[in-house]
Structure 1
Amino acid sequence: MPIAAGQKITAGQLTRMQPTKYLGEATGSLTASTTYQLIPGCTVTLTTLAANATYSVIGVFDCNVTTIHATNLMVGRLTVDGSGGTGLAIHAMDTQDRDTVAMLWQGTLAAAGSHTLQLEGVINAAGGAGGFLQYSRISVTITEVV
């Protein structure tokens, strides 16, 4: 909603015009499996005041390959209110190593209220082993409309 010339602006409107930042840090490691699982601590729960707030997320995945596999991948994703989105952070498992893999996401939260954004990890097929470790992070910036 635009602000018209001469319009009185409320404190609530000004508050919603500022981006709000949130951070979730891993509280433990996730031993990856072939089913998406929450990376412990990489969850942000927040409340928006208006519909159509936008989000910008940086996901950082601390990937550790412990058993190599020629073709399998460690994959990280973002879920918003329980739904997985597009865009994946991908780490090849063809070398026993540890790497930091990042991904960016943007979107809109259609309704006002409570929302949960979280990072999940998986190995895309059976074979190979690894985990998402303690330096995994999620950074969320929310911008609300007036």
Structure 2
Amino acid sequence: MPIYAGQIITEGQLNRMQPRAYLAEATGPLIATTTYQLIPGCTLTVPTTVPGATWSATGVFDCNVTTAHLTNLMVGRLTVNGSSQSGLAVHAMDTLDRDTVAMLWSGTLAAAGNHVFNMEGVINGAGGTGSFFAYSRLAVTITEPV
């Protein structure tokens, strides 16, 4: 919504004009399995006051391969309000190594209220083991319409 010359601007409008940043850090390791699981500590509950808020998120996955596998992958994803977002952070498990893998996401929140952002990890097939470690991070920025 535009602001017009001479318009009286409310405190709420001014507050919504500022993007709000949120950060979650892993609080412990996730030993990955073949089922998506939450990375401990990488959950954010973010409030919005009006419908139509836009969001952008950056997920950094601290991947540690402990048993190599030639074809399996460590995969990280983002869910928003329980729905998986497109775009996956992918790490090959063909070498015993530790890497940080990142992914970017964005979207619009249709309703006002609290919204839950979660980072989850998985190994895409049986064989090979690995963990998502303590340097995993989730950053979300919310911008609300005026």
Which TM-score tier does this pair reach, normalised by the shorter chain? Answer: over 0.9
SS in 2 for 1:78: strand
The count of residues paired between Structure 1 and Structure 2 equals 146
TM-score by length of 1: 0.99
Moved over 2 A (4+): none
Match of 1:139 in 2: 139
Q: Alpha carbon RMSD of aligned pairs, Å? A: 0.5
Match of 2:31 in 1: 31
| Aligned-pair CA distance for 1:20 | 0.1
Deviations 1:22-66 (A, max 9, x none): 000000000000000000000110110010101110100000000
| Aligned-pair CA distance for 1:3 | 1.3
Match of 1:15 in 2: 15
| Aligned-pair CA distance for 1:118 | 1.0
Deviations 1:92-131 (A, max 9, x none): 0000000000000010011000100010000001110001
Q: Which runs of 5+ in 2 are unaligned?
A: none
SS in 2 for 1:13: helix
Q: Which runs of 5+ in 1 are unaligned?
A: none
SS in 1 for 2:15: helix
